[in-house]
Amino acid sequence: MQAIILLGAPGAGKGTIAEGLKSATDYIHVSTGDMLRAAVKAGKSVGLEARSYMEKGELVPDDVIMRIVTERIEEDSVDAKYMFDGFPRTTEQARLLDEVLVSHGGLLKRVFLLDVPRAILVDRLAGRRVCRNCGAVYHVRNIPPRVEGVCDACGGDLYQRPDDSEATVINRLDVFKRQTQSLIDYYEKKGVLTRINAGQAKEMTEAEILSALGEGGSAGT
């Protein structure tokens, strides 16, 4: 068993890059949100415990998150390869993940920090528009709809999520920097952190990661 981690600020493109890598490799894409929703939907005791915190708007404790992660990786074979997206979020979660991997005979192969200039992150998030009806995502400049304010797919109204306003985006980035610096330092000291330029075209970003992993082929093929 082995794992890689995609680490990056809001707007860095972790989910998009993960999808490209998933199609080019045999890594299983696992996100914290997906794991939480799956555990809740399955009615697992740990899922119900997590939901009790989520419904109150509180952060799910590290030990609960780790139980969900452990249950998830035990669903696959011992030689499975995982790509974590949005996890770990804290240094404590990172330490606990190390313990879980070791206890299952696995290892953390690489942590990829998706570096994107702050101005690009603000533009990506503040320019995002979402369809109220079907949830399709657009960008006012990069992926504009054919008709301004109208979804190409269903004709629904497009809107800017409150957390995508420029002031909120800047605050989210500041919070990420404060909360994540210790995690970046942790992985740098372990010698597993690789910084990737994620401000370029996603195909180029994926190619850099594939090269660092020593994977053949190219993303999306």
| Domains identified in the chain and CATH numbers | 2-116+180-213 (3.40.50.300), 117-164 (no CATH)
Q: What are phi and psi of 74, to 5 degrees?
A: -80, -5
Distance of CA 144 to the CA centre of its chain: 24
Condensed to tens digits (0 to 9), the pLDDT of residues 8-43 reads 998 898 988 998 999 999 999 988 777 777 777 888
pTM of the model: 0.82
Is residue 62 very low, low, confident or very high in pLDDT (cuts 50, 70, 90)? confident
Residue 57 in this model has a pLDDT that exceeds 70: no
Quote the tokens at residue 129.
């528009």
Which H helix or E strand runs over 83? strand 81-85
Catalytic residues: 14, 89, 128, 161, 172
Please compute the mean of the pLDDT values over residues 210-218 and round it to a whole number. Answer: 74
Condensed to tens digits (0 to 9), the pLDDT of residues 170-208 reads 998 998 888 899 999 999 999 999 999 999 988 999 999
Query: How far is 211 from 24, CA to CA, in rounded Å?
Result: 12
Quote the tokens at residue 116.
């994107």
Residue 140 in this model has a pLDDT that exceeds 50: yes
Query: How far is 107 from 111, CA to CA, in rounded Å?
Result: 12
58 vs 84, more confident? 84
* Orientation angle between helical segments 62-73 and 32-41, nearest 10 degrees: 80
Residue 217 in this model has a pLDDT that exceeds 60: no
Buried b or exposed e, range 114-131, using 16+ CB within 10 angstroms: bebeeeebbbbbbbbbbb
Is residue 48 very low, low, confident or very high in pLDDT (cuts 50, 70, 90)? confident
pLDDT at 210: 95
Q: Are 110 and 32 in contact, with CB atoms under 8 Å apart?
A: no
